[in-house]
């Protein structure tokens, strides 16, 4: 178990290093002179020079990279050129919208997908299976931003149950959660459809395994065999998908935030792109990638908890 964890940890660090290199080169190397890229062709020479020294462009590449990474490790993301404030402040304001949204959506997606997938698998070929599978086919095909628009049309404009957008902050947690509900549902439903399908097929794979027949020979009913023996084994592939989905939800939030006017990382990155504020773009992207890599690491560790075979093998 220790060895397995250490191995995963090593690969986590390597992933982070490579990810930072890729992001650094896309943002700071490929454009040639990032400063003139950011300021456009009409920039004045003195503002250009100011930005260059602000970004440390007079330094060699290697030094710049290490400065950036060391800064990141200390929580110093640099200063935004357009906002004139530290990027870390910008991010810390907005992460409290984006992260809760992603987690909210993940919880919804899992809460919907698990029972649906298990029900469909246990009633294979029956009416509930056919209904659930039909619904998930639709769910997988729906673009989430369109779904969000429809939800706004129905629940905000016609029924007036929710507001069409905006975020009142966390001073009143209930209000905060309420305003994240429509966005979270639009994010979660398509993902829940995918997850339910995978849960079902993974369970069906398990149900055809020999050990299920052994369990049945012991006197377990179909349902007992499913619960006691298939679900835990079926979780192994499902966990992978949950890990991948988190990154999808976090990133998918970028679009959904636009629709619901939520002041999250998505809005920040869009404003930064139109303002060509590369420092902000770079930091937000790195933060998102970092979160995703950490989540995948957690998933890997969760594997070992589910599957004893992983605990000794590297």
**Cβ proximity to another protein, 48 vs 244, nearer residue:** 244
Least spacing, CB of residue 248 vs another protein, in Å: 7
Residue 79: phi and psi, rounded to 5, are: -110, 140
**Cβ proximity to another protein, 130 vs 177, nearer residue:** 130
Q: Between 293 and 312, how does the x/- string for binding to another protein read (CB under 8 A)?
A: x--x---------xxxx--x
Could you identify the residue written with the tokens 């966390």? Answer: 170
Q: Tell me which residues in 47-106 interact with another protein (CB under 8 A).
A: none
SS3 call for 162: coil
Least spacing, CB of residue 89 vs another protein, in Å: 21
Phi-psi region of 311 (alpha: psi -120 to 50; beta: other; left: phi over 0): alpha
56 near 64, Cβ under 8 Å?
Answer: yes
Q: Between 3 and 22, how does the x/- string for binding to another protein read (CB under 8 A)?
A: x--x----x--xx--xx---
Which tokens hold the place of 34?
């990032």
Number of amino acids touching another protein (CB under 8 A): 80
Q: Which of 24, 83, 96, 145 binds another protein (CB under 8 A)?
A: 145
Q: Which residue(s) pair with 86 in the sheet?
A: 79
**Cβ proximity to another protein, 108 vs 206, nearer residue:** 206
Which tokens hold the place of 312?
């000794």
SS3 call for 122: helix
Q: Tell me which residues in 251-280 interact with another protein (CB under 8 A).
A: 251-252, 254-255, 258-259, 269-270, 273, 276, 278
Longest dimension (CA), the chain: 83
Least spacing, CB of residue 228 vs another protein, in Å: 7
């Amino acid at each position: 178990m220790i060895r397995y964890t250490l191995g995963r940890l090593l690969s986590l660090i390597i992933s982070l290093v490579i990810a930072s290199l890729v992001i650094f080169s896309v943002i700071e190397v490929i454009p040639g002179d990032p400063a003139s890229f950011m300021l456009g062709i009409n920039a004045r020479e003195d503002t250009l020079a100011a930005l260059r020294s602000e970004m440390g462009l007079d330094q060699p590449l290697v030094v710049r990279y290490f400065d950036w990474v060391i800064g990141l490790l200390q929580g110093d993301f640099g200063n935004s050129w357009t906002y004139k404030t530290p990027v870390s402040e910008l991010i810390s304001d907005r992460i409290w919208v984006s992260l809760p949204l992603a987690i909210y959506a993940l919880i919804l997606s899992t809460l919907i997908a698990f029972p649906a997938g298990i029900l469909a698998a246990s009633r294979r070929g029956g009416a509930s299976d056919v209904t659930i599978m039909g619904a998930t086919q639709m769910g997988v095909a729906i673009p989430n931003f369109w779904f969000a628009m429809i939800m706004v049309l129905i629940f905000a404009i016609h029924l007036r149950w929710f507001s069409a957008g905006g975020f009142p902050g966390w001073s009143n947690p209930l209000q905060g959660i309420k305003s994240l509900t429509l966005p979270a549902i639009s994010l979660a439903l398509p993902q829940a459809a995918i997850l339910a399908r995978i849960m079902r097929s993974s369970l069906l794979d398990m149900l055809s395994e020999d050990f299920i027949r052994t369990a049945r020979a012991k006197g377990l009913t179909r349902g007992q065999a499913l619960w006691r023996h298939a679900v835990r084994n079926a979780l192994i592939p499902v966990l992978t998908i949950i890990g991948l989905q988190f990154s999808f939800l976090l990133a998918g939030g970028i679009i959904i935030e636009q629709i619901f006017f939520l002041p999250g990382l998505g809005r920040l990155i869009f404003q930064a792109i139109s303002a060509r504020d590369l420092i902000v773009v770079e930091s937000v992207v790195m933060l998102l990638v970092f979160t995703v890599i950490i989540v995948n690491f957690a998933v890997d560790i969760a594997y070992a908890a589910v599957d004893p075979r992983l605990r000794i093998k590297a």
